Structure 1
């Protein structure tokens, strides 16, 4: 009976019956399925995988009308032999890539498109890899481990991850490590976006490649923060174009410095809807079009990403986003810095310093993150009168970067100082 199955029948049947293959649910594009009914089944399976990786077929059956239930029952019953899954899956993905390539070429011919864009799009399709989960035996593990330690040794003991540009922080967390997700969380107006942009700027200054995915600010606002951080002019003056001749010269110098830097910006202004799956797509497009492996991906911010499917609660939705970002960091070997919003619970306490329980909407974020940092400024809660009275007080611009989770090292608080005109946080000299 299996010999009469299509490739899609067999792949979907294997995914229904075998939890060991379900990691593929994270990398199969929805349009890889040519049968609309299969696409619907796939979406539900992918959502269920986030909540319960070892789910049974009976767990998802009630979510479908009777006709689809019959299809699921048939596929599950007939796909008994699953040992050929890898071969069928490879053919399934090859057919998807051939269809995509044909669509791209037809669109190019119909619209008299740009040749460079055509080649870049075809490269994206050609280089699309659905990752394979494999284990390492001891010999292979030792070789990889030796190479890792040798690289650190030859670097003279430098940090292992992408430097944030804040030496005390880098020493504490060993940089933003590839394959892991770091979370930077705060209440609104604490400066978390500014700190994220500072980290991005420091990284590109040191030669690292950065993708910044922004879900709130216009792209020019991000650029103004970068220029202000470089001392061109204040953020406000840049926003209004109010520059002196001397500042204009600095602007041109900053403009020339940024040219050619490996910095990529995906803004909600350009594409209003940004899904968590767009993050993966963007990483792979950059890899294909620019022939580089990204070092750092910054998502600002996590809870603003969308998902294609509907969840019963906001908790489940944010959990799915968090888990997917963590998986992307691992499978694409990038350092993922996810900016996150904290819940209002902070405001109800006398001590308003954040704690892990304040992570808004989902405890899953705490589980997925390798490092969790909270940005806190006590002066944010000062009254207007107190701000005016203490405007020259060093504490007015003092911030605490609280490392509340650090999987490989100790916890600590790094003292930063906020320079609003330059849109920059700097480390305190003595801590």
Structure 2
């Protein structure tokens, strides 16, 4: 659309608001002040909103008093321009039509800006193709979301939808069925992970959070040969390579001492167990990305592609503090806050749980009771606010070692999974047995 037509639509919106100020409620649901291309029109719209918020009716006189000798009107006659805008609009009847024209042209400019900016980065050689593609997709999706106009849902429609889903769940057929963790004691607290949930799994170093996440991945991927019952897991590891992760999973499933795999000193029984582990893993739909540097928008783009190709049931990220925000900031806490918000949005868009591992601050070490609390989340920002579930791992033997304990018992330790926040359910603590040399978690009774 030509420049003069865009400006004419902007003037029509403003003129209609002067004729019928009550139309502002309707327009504010469509337009922000940044949607106006002409700076003078933007200032008039800002003045109309300010007057409305102060319960002052916006007419030609009150608008003039608000913008006189400010900004774009320092060197021109504000009264003449306001009268020009007012007289150019005969009726307020078509205000929604004019507002939508202004909005669509604003979105067009935003999309154009994204494409031009990233094309310039490619021409300058400062961005690789994968980065540009994921960034463009993410930013275009944000523009697309702005273009959507949300409407109220009638409670009768929502009630029917919820009722039907509850009945379906009772029959094991609900579309929003939770995904079990595979640990009975933990599922007793959480009742599984729900679609769209952001789950934070936090612990101090050496507590076993990566091993625990891998065990959950294997449990979710399924222990069945029925292809319809298998689930797809996307695993992003920013700290360890894919080979290291697979080695840990082989130890866990083959019940092989991790030291033997590292040293290569394995007997025939170990080799048979290894072959079993390989066959077991080869049947799973687990996809690993071990990029050391990756942004949230890149993760989302890769997950969407995976979901389109083979489906996607759960995403695991190890770990949150190594992620890069899509937008660079000098304040790391703000960056982490943006990352957590983006992960929650990603979980909702992908309609699957997202588990993000997280570090804890050293403040844990200074307390007598070293069980983690919400305040221990490192660079917390809005992590605890955005998360649907916040859980911590705690091993008492890590802090209270008994040198007289038999070596055989040291291989098995009790680990507490502390559910400190559960937006849609109860909190509590589940106890599991951690078989350290196998990197395997089992129910406490199984651990002996």
Shared fold (TM-score greater than 0.5)? Answer: yes
Give the structure-2-normalised TM-score: 0.66
1:121-152 deviation line (CA, Å, top 9, x unaligned): 9xx98xx9645474433343234323321221
Given that 1:371 and 1:403 are in contact with CA atoms closer than 8 Å, whether structure 2 keeps it comes out as: yes
Gaps in structure 1 of 5+ consecutive residues: 11-17, 24-68, 71-77, 100-120
Give the structure-1-normalised TM-score: 0.68
Q: Deviation at 1:388?
A: 5.1
Gaps in structure 2 of 5+ consecutive residues: 11-26, 33-70, 73-84, 86-95, 117-132, 224-229
Given that 1:371 and 1:405 are in contact with CA atoms closer than 8 Å, whether structure 2 keeps it comes out as: yes
2:427 is matched with which residue: 400, 411, 414?
411
1:358-394 deviation line (CA, Å, top 9, x unaligned): 01112411101111111001111235xx345464557
Q: Residue in 1 aligned with 2:389?
A: 371
SS at match of 1:257: helix
CA RMSD of aligned residues (A): 4.2
Given that 2:30 and 2:99 are in contact with CA atoms closer than 8 Å, whether structure 1 keeps it comes out as: no
Q: Deviation at 1:273?
A: 1.2
Given that 1:233 and 1:243 are in contact with CA atoms closer than 8 Å, whether structure 2 keeps it comes out as: no
1:195-227 deviation line (CA, Å, top 9, x unaligned): 000000100025211111111011111101111
1:283 is matched with which residue: 300, 303, 308?
303
Choose 1 or 2 for highest CA Rg: 2
Q: Does 1:230 align with 2:247?
A: no
Report the number of matched residues.
344
Given that 2:411 and 2:436 are in contact with CA atoms closer than 8 Å, whether structure 1 keeps it comes out as: no
Q: In structure 2, do the counterparts of structure 1 residues 3 and 163 end up closer, same or farther at CA, with 3 Å as the change threshold?
A: same
Ranked by relative contact order (alpha carbons within 8 Å, sequence separation 6 or more), the top structure is: 1
1:261 is matched with which residue: 284, 309, 314?
284
Q: Residue in 1 aligned with 2:51?
A: none
2:216 is matched with which residue: 171, 185, 199?
199
1:170-218 deviation line (CA, Å, top 9, x unaligned): 1211211111101110001100010000000100025211111111011
Q: Deviation at 1:302?
A: 0.7
**CA distance in 1 between partners of 2:29 and 2:237 (Å):** 35
Q: In structure 2, do the counterparts of structure 1 residues 428 and 396 end up closer, same or farther at CA, with 3 Å as the change threshold?
A: closer
2:199 is matched with which residue: 182, 206, 213?
182
1:305 is matched with which residue: 316, 323, 333?
323
Given that 2:340 and 2:383 are in contact with CA atoms closer than 8 Å, whether structure 1 keeps it comes out as: yes
Given that 2:165 and 2:175 are in contact with CA atoms closer than 8 Å, whether structure 1 keeps it comes out as: no
2:178 is matched with which residue: 136, 151, 161?
161
Given that 2:254 and 2:276 are in contact with CA atoms closer than 8 Å, whether structure 1 keeps it comes out as: no
Q: Residue in 1 aligned with 2:161?
A: 144
**CA distance in 2 between partners of 1:377 and 1:162 (Å):** 26
**CA distance in 2 between partners of 1:261 and 1:86 (Å):** 47
Q: Residue in 2 aligned with 1:296?
A: 314
User: Structure 2 matches for 1:7-406, cutoff 5 A?
Assistant: 82-84=99-101, 130-131=144-145, 132=148, 134-135=150-151, 136-155=153-172, 160-206=177-223, 207-268=230-291, 272-288=292-308, 290-292=309-311, 294-382=312-400, 386-387=402-403, 389=405, 391=407, 397-406=413-422
Q: Residue in 2 aligned with 1:427?
A: 443
SS at match of 2:166: helix
**CA distance in 2 between partners of 1:255 and 1:414 (Å):** 30
Q: In structure 2, do the counterparts of structure 1 residues 279 and 22 end up closer, same or farther at CA, with 3 Å as the change threshold?
A: farther
**CA distance in 2 between partners of 1:365 and 1:256 (Å):** 38
Q: Residue in 2 aligned with 1:108?
A: none
